[in-house]
């Protein structure tokens, strides 16, 4: 056998097909600040009438809490800018993948509806 023929017989990794990667993303900038900046926490007193809101002291209140600074690359919404050029994630980006069961249900509906 020639060397060229032997090289063709060797097994190698092949990529088969393509797929989307679906990510559900959330911006959590100032989330800590939102919990600490107000002296009061408002809630409902059992019914849904807005005038019946209860008011109690915020146990997490911190008068020195400061909001986070917006990063230079931020566009004000979750987008590709949240994955920076140097392949790092924005520290305010929270994300999760789509649940496998939900994905299967979705594709059943898509196939049924022929979207």
Location of structure tokens 């929270």: 94
Token pair of 87, please?
């392949």
59-114 pLDDT tens trace? 999 999 999 999 999 999 999 889 877 778 899 999 887 788 888 888 888 777 66
> Is the model's pTM score more than 0.85?
no
40 CB contacts (<8 Å, ≥6 apart)?
55, 56, 57, 58
pLDDT(52) > 80: no
- The domain locations on the chain are 28-69, 71-115
- Kind plus residue range of the DSSP H or E element containing 23: strand 23-27
């Amino acid at each position: 056998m020639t060397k060229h023929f032997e090289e063709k017989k060797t097994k190698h990794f092949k990529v088969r097909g393509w797929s989307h990667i679906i990510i559900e993303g959330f911006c959590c900038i100032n989330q800590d600040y939102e919990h600490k900046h107000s002296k009061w926490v408002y809630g409902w007193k059992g019914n849904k009438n807005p005038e019946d809101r209860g008011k109690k002291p915020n146990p997490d209140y911190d008068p020195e809490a400061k909001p986070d600074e917006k990063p230079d690359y931020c566009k004000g919404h979750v987008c590709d800018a949240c994955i920076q050029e140097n392949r790092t994630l924005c520290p305010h980006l929270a994300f999760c993948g789509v649940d496998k069961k939900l994905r299967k249900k979705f594709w059943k509906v898509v196939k049924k509806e022929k979207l």
